[in-house]
Amino acid sequence: MLHGQKIVFVAIVDNDNQTAKEFKSRIWHHQTLVQKFLKTENCLMGKTTYDIMQWKGPKAWVLTRDREWSRSNVGTIHDLDDLHLHTEGPIYVLGGNSVHHQLRNNMDEIHLYVMNNSRGSDPWIDMDMKDWKPIEYISKGVWSYVHLEKSLNYDPLGLNDDYLKA
């Protein structure tokens, strides 16, 4: 949660398409999910993600430090602490390394797509799976999808560590 708003992260870990180099477009299931969110939900993405994907929607927002940057059909946010001033309800964060790092301790759900590649890994996804419970899982060979929800045992500050209980 951030300022009482649920944060849902939606991303692809694709290892720079090392798994399927001819795979020029994004996973169709991911695109369908993103398009559904863009039509009805508050969506936030970083400027780089916007520049690559050009996703727009009635409640789409781009996070950028560039105060001169603007585009039609997307709002602009310069500070995450101001997001709640412009939106109500859950925020769907559409990928991006920078936004993920800024919100990683506030995420309540994750929709994660992974290009299945035993050779590579994407270092920006650093998750302790004990903090999450799976809601849905799909495997389609070249890609997999998991919908995760924050576990009730989530303890980002380590307040339940054994050494504090002694």
In a domain, 87, yes or no: yes
Is 2 inside a domain boundary? no
How far is 34 from 11, CA to CA, in rounded Å?
Answer: 10
Is residue 27 assigned to a domain? yes
- In this prediction, residue 158 carries a pLDDT of 53
pLDDT value at residue 63: 94
Is it the case that residue 30 has pLDDT exceeding 80? yes
Reported as a pLDDT band with limits 50, 70 and 90, residue 66 is very high
The per-residue pLDDT for 163 is: 38
Mean pLDDT, residues 33-55: 92
pLDDT band for position 165 (cuts 50, 70, 90): very low
| Owning domain of residue 22 | 7-165
Could you give the C-alpha distances from 164 to 56, 59, 81, 155, 161, in angstroms and in order? 47, 43, 31, 13, 6
99 within some domain: yes
CB atoms within 10 A of CB 166: 5
How far apart CA 107 and CA 2 sit, in angstroms, is: 8
Q: What is the CATH number of the domain that holds 45?
A: 3.40.430.10
Asked whether residue 143 is assigned to any structural domain, the reply reads yes
On whether residue 1 sits in a domain, the answer given is: no
Please tell me the distance from the alpha carbon of residue 165 to that of residue 147, in angstroms, as a whole number.
33
Is 133 contained in some domain? yes
pLDDT of residue 129: 78
Average pLDDT on 129-144 reads 86
Domain count, the chain: 1
Average pLDDT on 36-59 reads 92
Which DSSP state fits 120? -
Determine contact, residues 147/29, Cβ cutoff 8 Å.
Answer: no
For residues 61 and 128, which has the higher predicted lDDT (pLDDT)?
61
In a domain, residue 76? The reply is yes
Q: Using CB atoms within 10 A of its CB, is residue 67 exposed (0-12), middle (13-18) or buried (19+)?
A: exposed
